Amino acid sequence: MALLQISEPGLSAAPHQHRLAVGIDLGTTNSLVATVRNGISVVLNDDEGIALLPSVVRYLADGSLQVGMAAQAVQSEDPQNTIVSVKRFMGRGLKDVGDVVDLPYRFVDTPGMLQLRTAGGVKSPVEVSAEILKVLRDRAERSLGGELVGAVITVPAYFDDAQRQATKDAAKLAGLNVLRLLNEPTAAAIAYGLDNASEGVYAVYDLGGGTFDISILRLSKGVFEVLATNGDSALGGDDFDQRIYCWILEQAGLSQLGVNDVRLLLTHARTAKEQLTDNLQAQITAVLSGGELVDVTLTRDTFYDMTKNLLARTMQPTRKALRDAGLGVDEVQGVVMVGGSTRMPQVQRAVAEYFKQTPLTNLDPDKVVALGAAIQANVLAGNRSADDWLLLDVIPLSLGIETMGGLTEKIIPRNSTIPTARAQEFTTYKDGQTAMSIHVMQGERELVSDCRSLAQFELRGIPPMVAGAARIRVTFQVDADGLLSVSAREMISGHESSIAVKPSYGLSDEEITQMLKDSAQHAKDDMQARALREQQVEARQLLEAVEAALQEDGDLLDADGKAAIRASMEGVRFLLEGEDQTPIKRAVEALNQATLPFAQARMDKSVSGALKGHKMSDLES
């Protein structure tokens, strides 16, 4: 008899029914929403026909709020209640955001993610982002005439676990079903690749308002395979504005400006930057609050000169990504430009020079991410069979756990294709140890103190055994959103402990970048520091083992033998805290040597003890 199979409620849709799904680019400066209509990906405009929604939210005392242009217009009048660039606070603690003193907000240092005190109450960055997403959701539902099935939300490829989780939480808070978190450069590649039916290796150079991502992808027969990704998450168009701003101060002989004048000149700097895209020079004229007139002319050449090293800072991650992908410049078929900052002619020129080809700019760099996200959303919603294309993305930073001595054991290396899982076995450090702390890290450096802590949990109930006998298998699972979950299992008792990693705080952008840079620069220091720590751990373990043995079987030794071992132990203790590995190593060897006869005696004792009470026949069987 055939069994009838019944679907779960709400699982299936009639095949002909088009499911409404959108792609959302939740940007630092602006956000957009796009959808696939009649097979074509289009950005959805607001009632005034404007696509870009400024990522600005203002909270008012009566509990109401303003989002977008209206909030942006009053940001200098009501700076404390008007939140701009909230993206940089996502998944961040107060101590992760270095430049808070310069920001006009009233921060609340809550455990985990920071919060902001506004006229409308205390708000978390997740809530603020959710307000932006709600406006885009409403826009989409009104425009499409129905409720959304789900959304693909884009994140910088360099976002860590905490930032991704916060983004997903914001979407949920906005009432959106998250079909997928998609990396921004990958979204752009989809928009380009499917448009042009491209084949070969492509680089996506994504310079936005506050972040830089570079991704290397291989496109072949409808497969988008990300080979490597890198970036500098503290580099964007804002830094170019800042350079012009400093130049204005220098030219006009200004210093010690008030907050309003700083904002005024920064706005002028940004306008000048944009003018220099099409003009050879830009006139900057402003009247400061004290009545002083600023009137200077900035030429393109001067602007290029002052931003040369900013460009150099994008080329280093670019070279690194190519190396990680195992490819040379001449193997790159095309370079896709993403992000408003790639409009600057010197950016295009630098990219063209490095890759020896003209970069592709035929899609609007402000919109291409949202367009790609919409294409992915359409497939994930089940509107179109995805049989003809497949997306294989990677995690940007290595994941690992802390082992003895403050070292990181990498479990999943950066640029691993997701979803992925790795298991690694660890053992106990002390006799009778029944609990183990699992500390999850993200970063490229070897020392825990140089990586970023993602989460910590305890595995309890390990059966008491001698040190090194327990086998604890720690499994990292990274899903297709790039989100991590960790489980640990004691293999002998089967005791399991599992968590979805909801990190208390994430990596700061600066830290990610710094960590990667340091990883290369200090590789040698790391190796030495690691060797020292390993030696110290080994020494401490040996001291504990010998001490335990003396307590247990001290009677096997005569007074001289005991004294010799004690002296040797003192030698190790004396050298233990030193900065040099070699003397510790020698002292450890000496102690090992000194305890050799003792160990032999103990072994004899335990073997004879084990034999006692057994018949020969037992041993033979």
Partner 1 sequence: MWRKLYSVMSAPAVDLQQDFFTVFSLPRSFLLDNAALDHRYRELQSQVHPDKFSHLSDAEKRLSMQWATRVNEGYQTLRDPLKRGRYLLTLHGVDTQEENNTAMPMDFLMQQMEWREGLQDAIAAKDIDALDALADKARNETRNLQQQLAEQLDTTHEFVAAAGTVRKLRFLEKLAEEIADAYDELDS
The residues that are catalytic are 25, 87, 184, 206
Minimum CB distance to partner 1 smaller for 65 or for 171 = 171
Provide the residue type at 552 as one letter. Answer: E
Minimum CB distance to partner 1 smaller for 69 or for 315 = 315
Q: With binding defined as CB under 8 A, does residue 42 bind partner 1?
A: no
Minimum CB distance to partner 1 smaller for 287 or for 527 = 527
With residue 203 as reference, give the H or E element that holds it.
strand 200-207
Q: With binding defined as CB under 8 A, does residue 479 bind partner 1?
A: yes
Burial class (CB within 10 angstroms; exposed 0-12, middle 13-18, buried 19+) of 5? exposed
- From CA 527, how far away is CA 446, in angstroms rounded? 8
Q: With binding defined as CB under 8 A, does residue 180 bind partner 1?
A: yes
Name residues contacting partner 1, limited to 309-328 (CB under 8 A). Answer: 316, 319-320, 323
Minimum CB distance to partner 1 smaller for 178 or for 294 = 178
Question: CB within 8 A of 201, min separation 6: which ones?
Answer: 216, 217, 218, 219, 227, 325, 327, 331, 332, 333
Name residues contacting partner 1, limited to 524-583 (CB under 8 A). Answer: 524
- From CA 105, how far away is CA 128, in angstroms rounded? 13
Bridge-based pairing state of the strands 420-426 and 30-37: unpaired
Minimum Å distance from CB 404 to partner 1? 15
Minimum CB distance to partner 1 smaller for 19 or for 263 = 19
x/- track of binding to partner 1 for residues 123-162 (CB under 8 A): --------------------------xx------------
In b/e form, how buried is each residue of 445-462, taking b as 16+ CB within 10 angstroms?
Answer: bbbbebbbbbbbbebeeb
Name residues contacting partner 1, limited to 381-400 (CB under 8 A). Answer: 381-382, 386-387, 390-392
Minimum Å distance from CB 14 to partner 1? 9
Contact window for partner 1 (CB under 8 A) among 6-14, 202-210, 447-455, 599-607: 6-14
Minimum CB distance to partner 1 smaller for 139 or for 180 = 180
- Compute CA distances 497 → 454, 458, 505, whole Å: 17, 8, 21
Contacts 24+ apart (CB under 8 A), 168-172: 168/481, 168/483, 169/126, 170/26, 170/90, 170/125, 170/126, 170/127, 170/129, 170/130, 170/133, 171/24, 171/130, 171/133
Q: With binding defined as CB under 8 A, does residue 523 bind partner 1?
A: yes
How many positions of this chain bind partner 1 (CB under 8 A)? Answer: 44
In Å, the largest CA–CA distance within the chain is 106
x/- track of binding to partner 1 for residues 399-428 (CB under 8 A): -----------------xxxxxxx------
Per-residue tokens: 602 = 């103990």
Per-residue tokens: 58 = 């203002």
Q: With binding defined as CB under 8 A, does residue 236 bind partner 1?
A: no
| Contact residues for partner 1, defined by CB under 8 A | 4-8, 11-12, 19, 149-150, 179-180, 221, 223, 316, 319-320, 323, 376, 379-382, 386-387, 390-392, 416-422, 477, 479-480, 517, 519-521, 523-524
